[in-house]
Amino acid sequence: MSDNTPARALTADELTAYRNGRSAIKLGLAIQPYNPIFSAQINQTFTAGVGVAELTYDNATGDYTKIVGGMTLYVGSAAGLYDKGIVRIRKNADANKLYIAETFDVNFADNDYVTVIDTFGVWARETRMVGDTLYMDYDVEYAAGLSNDIMACVGGTAAVVFLRDGIAHFAPPSAATNSRAVNLTSIASYAYVADGAINQTDMTTPTPSWDYNAAGLYRWQCTLQDVDGGSTTVYRWVFVSPPEREFELMSSVIGENNGWSFTVKMRNALPSDIPPRALCVLYAMDEDPASIGLLSWYENIIAVGWVDVETMTTSSDDNSVTFSVFSADYWLDKTRAAPLTLSNTSSASYRWDKIYTMTLDAAAAHVIQKRTTLNLVADVFMQEFGVVADVINDGANSALAQINSIGGMYFAELKCNHLGQAFFETDYQIYDGAIPDPDIMTITDADINDGVTVTVKTAHKIALVELNGIESYNGTARIDLYSRAPSINGGGYGTYVNHGNKIFLDQNDANQIAGRIYAKENSAHDSVDFSFAYHTRAFDVAPRQALLFNFDNPARGYALNSRRAIPRRIEHQFIDGIGRTFLSCEIETRSAAVDGVEYHPPTSQDANIETSIPSMPSVDFPSTDLGAYFPTTAPADDLTPCPDGVASVNSSWDKTELDGTDSNKLSAFAYQPCRVKNDSYIDITATFYGDAYSNVHVYGIKSGARVITASITKPSYLFGIRATFTPLSPIDVDGFEINIDAGIGADITYNAGSTAASGSFDAAASGGSADVTLPAGWYAIENNAGPWQTENVANPRMSYKFKISANNGASWSATYGYRQQTNGGDYVLEIGGVLPYETFGYVTRIFYELTSTTLRVAAGSTTFADNSGSMGFIIRNVTLSGRRVTLGTMTIINVCAAGT
Amino acid sequence: MAAPTSYEIGATLLTMQTLNALGVVAPKSDFSDYTDTIVLASGLTRGIGYPSAEWAYGFLTSSQYDVYKSFCSGVGASVYIAMPDNSRVYKRYSANMTLPTRYTIRSGDYIDVVIRFTHLIEAE
């Protein structure tokens, strides 16, 4: 048994084996054979243009109870053929009917031959609307209640093992390592079925094993069930001593972008020997070193995918068939996606498409589970990055595009590794994972052939990165966020890039990402290409991982040593018994990134709306003596004389932001001489932060003095506020003032930013501690490396405590941390003080004001019996955001010309 | 099995026989420790790939040719051989045997025959 963690650092022994080995390799090709389990003839008639979702059959051969959802159905004019089409079985058959995905593009006819093939692929689960009711897979209603699917991670799509003395052992990696219930409940049970296997052991645990005693292709399945009763069954395959194939690789085996592909030529073969969408595995028979791989029992896998018959060519000259094999991402990209609308809910009125706390990974999980069969055939690892969307509408034209469109809102996408596992995760360079990503190995001169090709930038490629989006939805308000890097104005070289329609955790997160994109795009090294002196399958384009360099000549002109390199393209070449791996990396520049800065775009001017004072749009009014700066001018021409009625005019404030902590930003003014009546009001577009709404005031100004005060309301249909005046009699004003009370207010947002320091302390029962010297101010302290989440592997959370002191431990402010309830319920936060905090994933982050220059962090618990190890922590700089208003447009309504 | 002391060949490890027993004379053999060499970034040369070998004959009689052909009816076959390595130590290997596809025949004998063995893996 091993953990299902397909990225890890190589051991010293493994590196030695690579460096001393001869990189001798033989290749094998295992192909899923044509494997019909049931055949029959259609016994019904059809109406043209009407979708077909079930087929009545007769003349059956085979056991219909063996048919399960996800299998493949050939429809042909003769037995075994698929000349009329190939469709997916959507659920188990019965004695009279086969149930298929609703199909419009196959010309079914009575007496057609149908053959069920024991082949599973990546397909769409089509949606269907009947009235106002939404269905998936034709007749499965989008139900009320939480979606309780489980994203199963039980092992690579296929393994290849060999009989030794008549026995081939197999033990999939632990299904408990990364499987996750979409609704974040615990997985309660595991049930494995391995037909054809002997010596089955621990089949109801996440770590079973079994043996095979005959060559062949075997399908095994695992049913995972969570505590809410949610259940997911997935399938995987084992080739046992597959027959030797006469084949040659027609291309390198390449992993790039979202997955893997390769092309082979099989000799002495016919197209019928390679079924459509047949599972195909390229595996290695290494001589020296012995197979070094990422997952036990999958070490020899080079690449896994499904045959695309559209790529198939035949040659009568050498009696060969050539075809290409692609990983799941390719098939997802060929899979149609239906329009998608998902919404967040914080109430109990959830439905499958009304997701409780709709994080982007929850939304992507919905697409993967409800609208594709991906997880049926491939592990799907979901990274939790805690970004919540209010509503997601997507019309992408493929399942992959739809998943990546959702992920793209936080720079995440779906990628497949060479084992056939899929990973929905953020880009390595953009966002830190909750768990540190592994450095696979340090590459030295002993690892590479010839030299390194570095593409160097001589000038910045990007002058300015601009991000715009909204803050992770908090259930109440939409908060617009804008950030630019490296500054408001940008650099001198390069172009401008904009990433819009994003969601960020907060302003600091947007600033950090802007800085990282800027640093990434302007890395001194565009790319680094080199070839290994050997063949290795130790790294991949997914999941997130990096390589380090340590060359004897550290400079090589480009200072690569100690920089992290992210594998972006991996190419395995095989020549006459030799395997070599070529790698193209992108150099990571995250450590050099400088956070971007917040900015506010100018208020757009609508050319079609005539403003009342077009000649003075940008008068900057001092807050202290307004009247002296008003020009003695007649009312705007377009204001109606009062005897003739009232009118509405658009105006603008002289500031775009009010900030309670900035004495220069407590008031904004708008110049608009007019007469205010008892039904006059101003609609103001604005976004309020902290407690700004309850501390905002609007006045009418005359000769520099506030002469009338408005009452403030916040209508639900208005993105801002309405300031209503109710004078006893009409009153002339020169303009208007909006003001907020000074101070940061009571509702403060703490934004953790760049790392200020890091360290670790001993978690022993006596309580180790670590001191960090920092300037006084606000900081965020969060758990990092170490056994912070060891108490519950299935649903990990930080379970130890730490405490903080500003006076070298003379007094401790409080202890904080998570603990587990003993009644088996969910985890709760145990806060010993009143300091603000936030949590995401494995991390608990405490915000703390350091009043001295020494911050001491220590183990906060002396009672946990399992305290052990070194507990890492990170201290981040913090900015406080409180009472603040961003101002947009304003419309003054029901006023008339002053003095009339 | 006793360590080999002369050239051997067989379809399986257990059915290997000396060339002498098969009526074939010992070849002039060429053994390569690696399939290829590459130069590392450090400047060191490193061997990669399986060992390979060639057995060369000035001529083979038709009966000797038939012996080799019995192990390889086509162009290539998986066989076991024993031969000296570059340290002059006889070892047994599994190998991929490749026969020529073109021969010069003179007076019934096969002239200048080179039999190639690749993917050599020590069998013991």
Closest Cα partner for B6 from B95, B90, B92? B90
Mean pLDDT (whole number) for A50-67 = 95
Predicted confidence band of residue A717 (pLDDT cuts 50, 70, 90): confident
The mean-pLDDT minimum among A264-273, A472-481, A538-547 falls in A472-481
Determine the residue among B40, B45, B96, B116 to mutate to test chain A binding: the one whose Cβ has the most chain A Cβ atoms within 10 Å.
Answer: B40
Q: Which helix (H) or strand (E) holds A262?
A: strand A259-267
Q: Is the pLDDT of residue A830 over 60?
A: no
Mean pLDDT (whole number) for A562-581 = 85
Give the closest-approach CA distance of B109 to chain A in angstroms: 31
Q: Is the pLDDT of residue A686 over 80?
A: yes
What average pLDDT does the structure give for chain A? 84
The answer to whether residues A510 and A482 touch, using CB atoms and an 8 Å cutoff, is: yes
Q: Is the pLDDT of residue A817 over 70?
A: no
Q: Which residue has the higher pLDDT, A73 or A884?
A: A73
Predicted confidence band of residue B88 (pLDDT cuts 50, 70, 90): very high
pLDDT of A861: 58
Question: Residue A318: left (phi > 0), alpha (psi -120 to 50), or beta?
Answer: alpha
pLDDT of A290: 61
pLDDT of A170: 96
pLDDT of A504: 94
**Both tokens assigned to A886:** 């961003």
Contact A287 B121 (CB under 8 A): yes
The identity of residue A88, as a single letter, is R
Distance separating alpha carbons of residues A606 and A595, to the nearest angstrom? 33
Give the closest-approach CA distance of B21 to chain A in angstroms: 31
Q: Which residue has the higher pLDDT, A139 or A821?
A: A139
- Chain B residues within 8 A of A16 when measuring between CB atoms: none
Q: Is the pLDDT of residue B60 over 90?
A: yes
pLDDT of A590: 62
The answer to whether residues A21 and A62 touch, using CB atoms and an 8 Å cutoff, is: no
Distance separating alpha carbons of residues A32 and A55, to the nearest angstrom? 26
Q: Is the pLDDT of residue A374 over 90?
A: yes
Distance separating alpha carbons of residues A625 and A627, to the nearest angstrom? 6
pLDDT of A37: 95
pLDDT of A864: 45
- Taking the mean position of all CA atoms in its chain, how far away is CA B57? 12
**Both tokens assigned to A111:** 């007496």
Burial class (CB in 10 A: 0-12, 13-18, 19+), A270: exposed
**DSSP string for A74-109:** EEESSTT--SSEEEEEEE---SSEEEEEEESSS---
Determine the residue among A16, A18, A19, A22 to mutate to test chain B binding: the one whose Cβ has the most chain B Cβ atoms within 10 Å.
Answer: A22
Contact A448 B41 (CB under 8 A): yes
Distance separating alpha carbons of residues A25 and A300, to the nearest angstrom? 11
Mean pLDDT (whole number) for A286-301 = 81
Closest Cα partner for A284 from A583, A716, A572? A572
Q: Does B36 touch chain A (CB under 8 A)?
A: yes
Q: Is the dihedral of CA A829, A833, A834, A836 positive or negative?
A: negative
Q: Is the pLDDT of residue A840 over 70?
A: no
Give the closest-approach CA distance of B49 to chain A in angstroms: 4
Percent of chain A with pLDDT over 90: 42
Distance separating alpha carbons of residues B36 and B54, to the nearest angstrom? 15
The mean-pLDDT minimum among A28-42, A604-618, A639-653 falls in A604-618
